[in-house]
Amino acid sequence: MRFHTYKEAEAWALGRKSILVYFEPFAQAMNEVGNPQNELRCIHVGGTNGKGSTSRFLYSALSSNGKRVGLYTSPHLEHFRDRIRINDVWIPEEVFLSYANQWHGVIEHHGLGLIGICTMFAFLWFREEQVDVAVVEVSMGGRYDTTNVITQPLCSVIASIGMDHMEYLGNTLGEIAGEKAGILKPGCPAVIGTMKEEARQVIVEEAEKIGASLHELGAFEEGNGHHFHYDNEEYEVTLSAPYYKYDAAIALCVLDLLGMDIHSASLKQAIASSVWPGRFETVAEQPRILLDGAHNPDGMNALKDACRDVSHPLIGVFSALKDKQGPAMREIMESFCDEVITTSFENRRADVTSHLGGERIVEDWKTALKEAIQLAGKNGTVVVTGSLYLISIIRSYVKGEKST
């Protein structure tokens, strides 16, 4: 098979269902394409919540220091290609097309899905472009994630541990922590955030067993507004959300460990200006429309804390994927929103509204958003959350409307 256009290659990739635990076939495929990840200096970022924002802070700080930095994240928010970028340039269409044609046979032979394709292409492009550092976000779990072909990271990061993906990772914090700890590597440094002792102990024991050098986040204090303190220094971020400050502190801990001057004016400015779309992001005013990627109970509780100072009426627009704790997330939303509208969106992994529940159900997300805007009025707030896929759709819709 040969793809003649990028659109054909993109459709092929998006149409391939990812097998969520297929590490061995992926590792074999990577061996056949030359194991490009082994030629890269990688920071490997995992955790239940916060890994995307932490990755972005690391990426912004390293880029500001004059380095050529690759960033691999998932899922995409603005465009399919935004998963793979170097200094904020997405992987070019012609490069993606070239890789799809060159490695199509390997991908088909090993049955790789969307995540495998994107991970492979990210490593190939980062090697080709000779990045100084690659910041690589774990897709799910850790031990069996495709990104775990990284064998000698500059640093492994586990931002947080919470209940998510239990079907694949386990039903207790300890079991989930065990899977996340799979990204720790012998002789390599690792940073972990603040977490419950049940999870922390599992990670500490794994680090001791394999000889990883473990560093725990300390000296972090949440300040007022957009400010926080780390290592006796005040920092500023673009959002007032407490979880965003915490993610920035995790990044600072990693950067400090890697020998960067975290007190320099240039690095502080990089942290202060770092923006990650879809994380407590305001995309419209009157009413204010907030988008947040919370997709599990811990994330929803963090959003609840972040919404403590927003204007009311606060109206939620909510949906989730099938493998998430949808009803539990909706109940948390109902505890801080004046009203929650449960809706749906087109995705084969999306949950149905009959299972998600709620007093107000509007199947069509456009209608749900319109009703939420009417209920909030000009002085209120609409918060869209529950799935990064949902907020990606609504983000494109709202920003597209604003530009016309």
Residue 294: CB atoms within 10 A of its CB come to 28
pTM above 0.85, yes or no: yes
Q: Cα–Cα distance between 67 and 61 in angstroms, integer?
A: 9
User: In this structure, are 259 and 295 located in the same domain?
Assistant: no
Q: What is the pLDDT of residue 323?
A: 84
Shared domain check, 264 and 123: yes
8-state DSSP, 182: G
Residues 6+ apart with CB under 8 A from 370: none
pLDDT along the chain (404 residues), means of 10: 93 81 88 98 93 95 93 89 96 98 95 94 98 95 94 96 67 89 96 93 96 92 93 93 93 96 95 90 95 91 92 98 93 97 93 96 97 98 95 91 52
Continuous segment of H or E residues that includes residue 268: helix 265-273
User: Residue 191 and residue 214: Cα distance in Å, rounded?
Assistant: 6
Percentage helix, strand, coil for the chain under 3-state DSSP, each rounded to 5: 45, 20, 35
Specify the pLDDT at position 331. Answer: 97
CB-CB contact of 318 with 290 (8 Å): no
- The answer to the question of residue 372 being in a domain is yes
Q: What angle do CA 164, 86, 396 make, to 5 degrees?
A: 60
Mark which of 239, 257, 273 sits at the end of a domain.
Answer: 273
Half-sphere exposure (Cβ direction) of 302: Cα atoms closer than 13 Å: 25
**pLDDT for the residue 241:** 86
pLDDT of residue 166: 58
Beta strands in 231-292 (DSSP E): 233-236, 281-284, 288-291
Q: What is the CATH number of the domain that holds 117?
A: 3.40.1190.10
- 218/225 Cα distance (integer angstroms): 21
Q: Find where tokens 């502190």 sit.
A: 249
What are the tokens at 316? Answer: 């939620």
Helix/strand/coil for 390? helix
Last residue of a domain, one of 273, 304, 330: 273
Q: Which domain holds residue 263?
A: 6-273
Q: Which residues, listed in sequence order, are joined to residue 92 by a DSSP beta bridge?
A: none
Q: Please report the pLDDT score of residue 168 as a whole number.
A: 61
> Do the domain assignments include residue 1?
no
What is the number of structural domains in the chain? 2
Would you say how long the chain is, in residues?
Answer: 404
